[in-house]
Amino acid sequence: MIQAGIIGATGYAGAELIRLLTSHPQVTLSSLSSVSYEGQTMSEIYPNLRGVCDKILTNQNDVIQSSDVVFGSVPHGLSQELAAQCEKTGALFIDLGADFRLNSEEDYQNWYGGEFVYPHLHNEAVYAIPELFREKIKSARLIANPGCYPTSIALGLYPAIKAGIIDVKSIIIDSKSGVTGAGRVLSQSSHFPDCNENFAPYKIAQHRHTPEIEQTLSILAKQPVTITFVPHLLPVNRGILSTIYTNLVENPTLNELIALYQQQYGDETFVRVLPSGQTACIKNVRCSNYCDISLHLDERTGRLIVVAALDNMVKGAAGQAIQNMNLACNLPESAGLMLVPTAF
The 8-class DSSP code of residue 58 comes to: B
53, 86, 148, 291: which is the annotated catalytic residue? 148
**What is the CB-side half-sphere exposure of residue 171 using CA atoms within 13 A?**
29
d(CA 6, CA 296): 40
Contact 12, 36 (CB under 8 A): no
Based on the residue annotation, tell me whether 148 is a catalytic residue of this protein: yes
Cβ atoms of residues 324 and 130 within 8 Å: yes
Gap between the Cα atoms of 18 and 49, Å rounded: 9
Q: Rounded to an integer, what distance in angstroms lies between the CA atom of residue 86 and that of residue 106?
A: 25
Those residues with Cβ within 8 angstroms of residue 170's Cβ, 6 or more apart along the chain or in another chain: 245, 246, 247
Question: Could you please report the per-residue DSSP string of 278-292?
Answer: ----GGGGTTSS-EE
Q: Is residue 258 within 8 Å of 200, Cβ to Cβ?
A: no
* Residue 128 C-beta-side C-alpha neighbours within 13 Å: 34
Crossing angle of helices 319-328 and 130-138, rounded to 10°: 40
Q: If you write DSSP's letter for every residue of 174-223 in order, what string do you get?
A: EEEE-GGGG-SS--TTTSHHHHTT--EE-STTT-TTHHHHHHHHHHHHTS
Report which secondary-structure segment, H or E, holds 98.
none
Residue 160, φ and ψ in degrees, nearest 5: -70, -40
| Active site (catalytic) residues | 148
